[in-house]
Structure 1
Amino acid sequence: MASICQGKSSWPELLGVDGKCAVSTIERENPLVEAIIVSEGSSIIENFRCDRVWVWVDKDDIVYIVPVIG
């Protein structure tokens, strides 16, 4: 589904990176999206949006799921 969105849509290289650093990288590489940090175990709205990337972080603020547009 991300293929309908403009710009880079997936950031597998950010696995294991600090969440704030990941947000900066995502927003720099695709200025059309807002990257939002989400703590492990949190609930999110599940609608698809081309202007949003959830950045899932663990208790140490490390990205543990590949960030993708959605």
Structure 2
Amino acid sequence: MAEESAPRKTEWPELVFVKYSIAAAIIEKENPDVEAVKILSGTPRILNFDINRVWVDINVEEVVVKKPKVG
């Protein structure tokens, strides 16, 4: 009988106000299927949904300003 794995984490509200480098490491550790992608908040982005991407909105000081989530 195959073992079912727990669902992967898809949102990280606890990372708002955390430095990007720390947030990216946590995101990729907690869900190895995704890549954290840094983006300056307010900058245009690709609008396609990608289950292997987590947009991490940062400010100019590289602090997370919005809840990172898969997409």
Aligned partner of residue 13 in structure 1, secondary structure: helix
Is residue 7 from structure 1 mapped to residue 11 from structure 2 by the alignment?
no
TM-score of the two chains, using structure 1 as the length reference: 0.88
Moved over 2 A (4+): none
Once the two structures are superposed, residues 13-44 of structure 1 have per-residue CA deviations (whole angstroms, 9 ceiling, x without a partner) of 00000011111100000000010010123111
Deviation at 1:56, TM superposition (A): 0.4
Deviation at 1:65, TM superposition (A): 0.3
Q: Report what 2:20 is aligned to.
A: 19
TM-score of the two chains, using structure 2 as the length reference: 0.87
- Unaligned segments of structure 1, at least 5 residues: 1-5
Aligned counterparts of 1:44 and 1:21: Cα–Cα separation in 2: 22
Q: Report what 1:44 is aligned to.
A: 45
Q: Higher Cα Rg: structure 1 or 2?
A: 2
Aligned counterparts of 1:35 and 1:64: Cα–Cα separation in 2: 14
How many percent of aligned residue pairs carry the same amino acid?
40
Aligned-residue CA RMSD (Å): 0.9
- Unaligned segments of structure 2, at least 5 residues: 1-6
